[in-house]
Chains A and B, each alone.
Chain A
Amino acid sequence: MTVEELREVAEKEVARQKEYKHRVLYCSAAGCVSCGSDATKAAFRNSLKEKGLDKEIEVLGTGCMGLCGQGPLVKVHSDDSLYERVDAEAAKKIVEEHIVNGRKVEENLIDTSAPFFSSQKKVVLENCGKINAESIEEYIAVGGYEALAKCLTELQPIEVIETVRKSGLRGRGGAGYPTGLKWGIVSKAKGEQKYLICNADEGDPGAFMDRSVLEGDPHRILEGMAIAGYAIGATQGFIYIRAEYPLAIERLKLAIKQAERLGLLGNRIFESQFNFRIDLRIGAGAFVCGEETALLRSIEGRRGRPRPRPPYPSEKGLWGMPTLINNVETYANVAPIINRGSEWFASIGTPKSAGTKVFALAGNIKNTGLIEVPMGVPLRTIIFDIGGGTLSGTEFKAAQTGGPSGGCIPKEFLDLPVDYESLATVGSIMGSGGMIVMDSTSNMVEVAKYFMEFCKDESCGKCIPCRVGTVHIHGLLDKISKKQATQDDLALLEEFCVTVMKTSLCGLGQSAPNPVRSTLKFFRDEYEQLLSKPLTFVPSSNGNGSDKHA
């Protein structure tokens, strides 16, 4: 494939799409599929056939359109009207009214000028919900693989790294390490072979951003990986993805096959000297494998147990070779940066946290779904403008970010800008992007206990602080929630948290106490209310019920 041939594919696809009067896009991401979007698709096809319109109207599945709670979602492409809760009956109505008569079906229509849409900025998700995720031609028609072509034909690897560095892109997996810097380190590392990994082991409960990107725009990730491979000098990439995401796995397999068929992966891509292959590695359900050294072991076919760093994977990674590990969303940002330049990217967001961030908004909130906002927007905008406030209408209490490694942000900090540094100042982390909203009915001790139970189960057992500490912290939280704990237990709990945080081997253990620490910091009264005894210890005369902590 040459650059000219790529453009030809794009032109052909654009011409093909123009032949249709309307294109009806239904969401075929996991959320809408479970609301029954397959039945919606069948209903559209059937009623179009009845009307004899099936040659003029194209019905196709796309990636996530965002409002997952209101699915199945359908978009009529010619005038961008978006419909919610489209069951078979509504589908029939849309065909009869909108497509035949040109009148929109008001009862299912979504107001796309609402803050849910207008407050967002889509970079990573720009193609999600617009193109057919299973067609490489559609991706190419919206400018796909142009960035890879530009890198291979115009730029030196060092220039690619420099562009990414200048853009200010930081790792979207949660820690926020500058991406360009990481690429630079791996490119300079010595090794006969270099590897590149896309971490798609999205283990945080309540997070589905990576899944949506992989299901909705898989080629974007492949392109980003190929560009990174060129920049650092790797010829082999792996995508490590959870077995729990069967649809994403299927789409990626298909995408890799399509890219290989067109010569966009494989040998001598765009007639350059660059060869690049991508293979899938399927995880098997271990949260700790999201930690990079554990992930490396898992790809090598062993138990996913972390090892001490240094050496960092950028020096000694897969099979001892220099390895670059980035998150799905990080790779998804690469192609737009190359296409539109680092200045454009740096102009979005804040000076220290450039670009946008995708969040999976869930919990007690009206508009659950997938959103993308510029870095640095206040939490209030996300929860109230985009999310529409709490579902129950009761007062907002806290937002939990970062999953089991993150913390709760209480309502006092609603005006906090959402970026890496600001979240850290209140004891939470950006995390990979799960955001769970809690209203006044949520019990914070239970929330902390829930996360600790998760960490306890998922601890790999290699280092003692994490293996033993999480069990003890969970036990203490259980005791507190059963109103059997004393002030001493609370003090012990805090001590354990610090010990586990400071002495654990990997990120899982080091961050496991975060949910407890942040709820203790902001909702200490909820803990204290559950204590069975007041501050002072009074020995009981009847020996009943007072020394329960024994």
Chain B
Amino acid sequence: MADPTTSKSPAGHPSGDNRFKLLDRTITKYHSRGDALIEVLHAAQGIFGFLENDLLIYVARALRLPLSTVYGVATFYHFFRLKPKGEHTFVLCMGTACYVKGAAGIQKAVEEHCQCKFGETTADNKISLIQARCVGSCGLAPVAVIDDNVAGKLTSETALNRIKQMQSTATEVVA
């Protein structure tokens, strides 16, 4: 099980990227225990935005787990992303209540407009289209979560308007 190259406590990343130090805090909090893998991956994704291979290798070494286990867990759960997100996210709820109230029609309209399927990011890297199982705001069906804000009682038109708005905003320079 144990990787011979593992150090006893996390010692940062050779690249000197400070974000790894943040991650080390979570790893230390759970005493580098293997059963904290999901918590550590949550923290990693929160810090880095997505889980790239290098990051998974780092986590595997820090928790003394085989990389296959870490990769297996990261791919098993929908919440973990192995690819970067677009600038904006459009999460369409496909829960039963939203479905009954016409989420499928919105899905089709958005996919046609963006020329990209849900689960992908548009070619210009502007918008990631994501499907959610249920965001639990069934009273407002159909619902989408647009950049972390819930938009309820959508129609194809209002959804497309929001998409167009996101497309027209200039790319923000991340400081």
Q: Which residues of A contact B (CB under 8 A)?
A: 30-31, 33-35, 67-69, 71, 202-208, 211, 243-245, 281-287, 298-304, 360, 362-364, 368-369, 400, 403, 434, 436, 438, 442, 447, 450-451, 454, 460
Complex contacts, A442 vs chain B, CB 8 Å: 100
| Interchain pairs with CB closer than 8 A, number | 135
* Contact in complex: B133, A287 (CB < 8 Å): yes
Task: List the 10 closest pairs (A to B, CB-CB), nearest first.
Answer: A68-B139, A34-B150, A284-B77, A206-B96, A205-B95, A362-B97, A285-B78, A362-B138, A285-B79, A301-B37
Return 13 A-B CB contacts under 8 Å, by A number.
A34-B151, A35-B152, A68-B139, A205-B97, A205-B133, A208-B137, A284-B38, A285-B133, A287-B133, A302-B73, A362-B100, A434-B96, A450-B96
CA distance A302 to B73 in the complex (A): 6
Nearest chain A CB to B48 CB, angstrom units: 16
CA distance A299 to B30 in the complex (A): 13
- Kindly identify, within residues 66 to 83 of chain B, every residue whose CB is under 8 Å from any CB belonging to chain A: 69, 72-73, 76-80
Complex contacts, B150 vs chain A, CB 8 Å: 30, 33-34
Complex contacts, A69 vs chain B, CB 8 Å: 139-140
Complex contacts, B99 vs chain A, CB 8 Å: 205, 450
Nearest chain B CB to A177 CB, angstrom units: 25
Q: Which residue of A lies closest to B77 (CB)?
A: A284
- Kindly identify, within residues 86 to 117 of chain B, every residue whose CB is under 8 Å from any CB belonging to chain A: 94-97, 99-101
Q: Residue B79 contacts which of A207, A284, A301 (CB distance < 8 angstroms)?
A: A284
Complex contacts, A362 vs chain B, CB 8 Å: 96-97, 100, 138-139, 141
Q: Residue A400 contacts which of B35, B72, B96, B149 (CB distance < 8 angstroms)?
A: B96
B132 within 8 A of partner (CB): yes
Q: Which residue of B lies closest to A453 (CB)?
A: B94
* Contact in complex: A244, B137 (CB < 8 Å): no
Complex contacts, A438 vs chain B, CB 8 Å: 100
Nearest chain B CB to A104 CB, angstrom units: 24
B136 within 8 A of partner (CB): yes
B39 within 8 A of partner (CB): yes
* Contact in complex: B134, A204 (CB < 8 Å): yes
Complex contacts, B79 vs chain A, CB 8 Å: 243, 283-285
B42 within 8 A of partner (CB): yes
Complex contacts, A283 vs chain B, CB 8 Å: 77, 79
Q: How large is the interface on B (under 10, 10 to 19, 20 to 34, 35 or more residues)?
A: 35 or more
A301 and B34 contact, Cβ closer than 8 Å, known pairs A30-B137, A286-B78, A362-B141: yes
* Contact in complex: B77, A31 (CB < 8 Å): no
CA distance A203 to B77 in the complex (A): 13
Interface string of B132-159 (1 = CB under 8 A from A): 1111111111010000011110000000
B41 within 8 A of partner (CB): yes
* Contact in complex: A284, B96 (CB < 8 Å): no
* Contact in complex: B138, A360 (CB < 8 Å): yes
B166 within 8 A of partner (CB): no
CA distance A334 to B117 in the complex (A): 46
Complex contacts, A434 vs chain B, CB 8 Å: 96, 138
A301 and B36 contact, Cβ closer than 8 Å, known pairs A206-B96, A436-B100: yes
- Kindly identify, within residues 34 to 58 of chain B, every residue whose CB is under 8 Å from any CB belonging to chain A: 34-39, 41-42
* Contact in complex: A284, B94 (CB < 8 Å): no
* Contact in complex: B37, A302 (CB < 8 Å): yes
CA distance A442 to B104 in the complex (A): 13
Complex contacts, A208 vs chain B, CB 8 Å: 134, 136-138
Not counting A284-B41, A286-B76, A436-B96, a sample of 6 additional A-B residue pairs whose C-beta atoms are within 8 angstroms of each other reads A207-B138, A243-B79, A301-B38, A303-B72, A442-B100, A451-B96
Complex contacts, B137 vs chain A, CB 8 Å: 30-31, 34, 68, 208
Complex contacts, B138 vs chain A, CB 8 Å: 68, 206-208, 360, 362, 368, 434
CA distance A74 to B101 in the complex (A): 27
Q: Which residues of B contact A (CB under 8 A)?
A: 33-39, 41-42, 69, 72-73, 76-80, 94-97, 99-101, 132-141, 143, 149-152
CA distance A549 to B53 in the complex (A): 45
Complex contacts, A68 vs chain B, CB 8 Å: 137-140
Q: Which residue of B lies closest to A34 (CB)?
A: B150
Complex contacts, A302 vs chain B, CB 8 Å: 35, 37, 69, 73
* Contact in complex: A368, B41 (CB < 8 Å): no
* Contact in complex: B39, A281 (CB < 8 Å): yes
Nearest chain B CB to A380 CB, angstrom units: 20
CA distance A301 to B95 in the complex (A): 27
Complex contacts, A285 vs chain B, CB 8 Å: 77-79, 133
Q: Which residue of A lies closest to B91 (CB)?
A: A244
A436 and B97 contact, Cβ closer than 8 Å, known pairs A30-B136, A362-B138: yes
CA distance A202 to B95 in the complex (A): 12
* Contact in complex: B96, A369 (CB < 8 Å): no
Nearest chain A CB to B95 CB, angstrom units: 4
A34 and B152 contact, Cβ closer than 8 Å, known pairs A205-B134, A436-B96, A442-B100: yes
CA distance A243 to B134 in the complex (A): 12
CA distance A438 to B76 in the complex (A): 33
* Contact in complex: A286, B77 (CB < 8 Å): yes
Complex contacts, A211 vs chain B, CB 8 Å: 136
CA distance A436 to B138 in the complex (A): 10
Complex contacts, A460 vs chain B, CB 8 Å: 76
Max chain B CB contacts within 10 Å: which of A34, A282, A400, A438? A34
CA distance A244 to B141 in the complex (A): 17
Max chain A CB contacts within 10 Å: which of B35, B39, B101, B134? B134
Complex contacts, B94 vs chain A, CB 8 Å: 205
Nearest chain A CB to B128 CB, angstrom units: 15
Q: Which residue of B lies closest to A32 (CB)?
A: B139
Nearest chain B CB to A429 CB, angstrom units: 15
Q: Which residue of B lies closest to A442 (CB)?
A: B100
Complex contacts, A304 vs chain B, CB 8 Å: 76-77
Q: Which residue of B lies closest to A404 (CB)?
A: B96
Q: Residue A206 contacts which of B37, B38, B134 (CB distance < 8 angstroms)?
A: B134
